[in-house]
Amino acid sequence: MVTVVVVLYGSVSFLIAQGVTNASRKPQEQIPSDFNLVSEDVEFFSRRGDVKLSGWYLPGDDSGPHLIFVHGIGSVRSGDKAVGLAARIVGLGYNVLMFDLRGHGSSEGDKVSGGFYERSDVLGAFDYLLRRGVDIGRVGLMGFSMGAATSIMAAAQEPRITALAADSTYANASELIAREAARKTLIPGWLTPVFMPASKLIANGIYGIDIGSLVPEESVADLGYPVLVIHGTEDKRIPLEQGQRVAGAAKEGSSIWLVPEVDHLDAFLTHPDEYTERVDEYFSSRFR
């Protein structure tokens, strides 16, 4: 009987680890030409060199700063109205690089890791801009959901990144993995926490993903500059408290915009003008 229970527990834990790390590809929601944007299709490798990533380079002002957009898990570079935001940002003179993380959109890869390997994808995008010869002191990250958390952790590894805005970030992946497992597998949400310890061990042992190391609230403290955090007060996917913890751990001068009655990643959709103004105000202050 004990053997049956152990085998069952291990099997379910493996299914959870597999389900959480499986890539889920979606088509692009919009394209730059929908907004009359000039764009260049680009490809570059993750800094790890293991996957090729696909994206769009959207030129604005040659002398303007560069922003790298980083989407969330299960999304694509154009997800959550990101092209509409990019169009507004480009109109203000920024240059924007949008790309699909590994296992998403048109990029290579068959596994996702909640930010563990995706950090290298963000740094690969940064390296790509380096090769283009941009003003490397004026490159910032604009991250969304998991992409926000990933951006924080990537920036902590790359001191030449000097600005970061995080929309709907998590603070500690371990606290949300059970919720994500319930969303991506058939295991009931009330039951998933029971299997989390073994699922995390399996994710590390088989896929090399250390979920316990994904703690943006610790990484943000290593950044030498203030950040902008955006979080909807009615976020049902990543609780508001997670974003508040990241903002609280960030350097003095950081700010958090708590958007009333807004769900996950809906701040731009609900308040496009104010969202653009706040993002521009933050990055302008960093790149003056």
Residue 6 scores a pLDDT above 70 = no
Model confidence over 14-53: pLDDT tens digits? 555 565 577 778 999 999 999 999 999 999 999 999 999 9
Q: Where do the structural domains in the chain lie, given as residue ranges?
A: 26-175+217-287
The residue whose two tokens read 């496009």 is 272
Q: Which amino acid would we find at residue 244?
A: Q
Residue 199 scores a pLDDT above 90 = no
* The CATH homologous superfamily of the domain defined by 26-175+217-287: Alpha/Beta hydrolase fold, catalytic domain (3.40.50.1820)
Residue 7 scores a pLDDT above 80 = no
pLDDT at res. 4: 57
Model confidence over 236-249: pLDDT tens digits? 999 999 999 999 99
CA distances from 270 to 40, 191, 219, 239, 283 (A): 29, 34, 29, 18, 21
Strands 40-45 and 52-58: antiparallel
Residue 167 scores a pLDDT above 70 = yes
Lowest-pLDDT range of 165-179, 191-205, 208-222: 191-205
Model confidence over 105-134: pLDDT tens digits? 999 999 999 999 999 999 999 999 999 999
pLDDT at res. 12: 56
pLDDT at res. 25: 87
pLDDT at res. 23: 75
Taking the C-alpha atoms of residue 9 and residue 220, their distance in angstroms, rounded to an integer, is: 36
Residue 91 scores a pLDDT above 70 = yes
Residue 3 scores a pLDDT above 80 = no
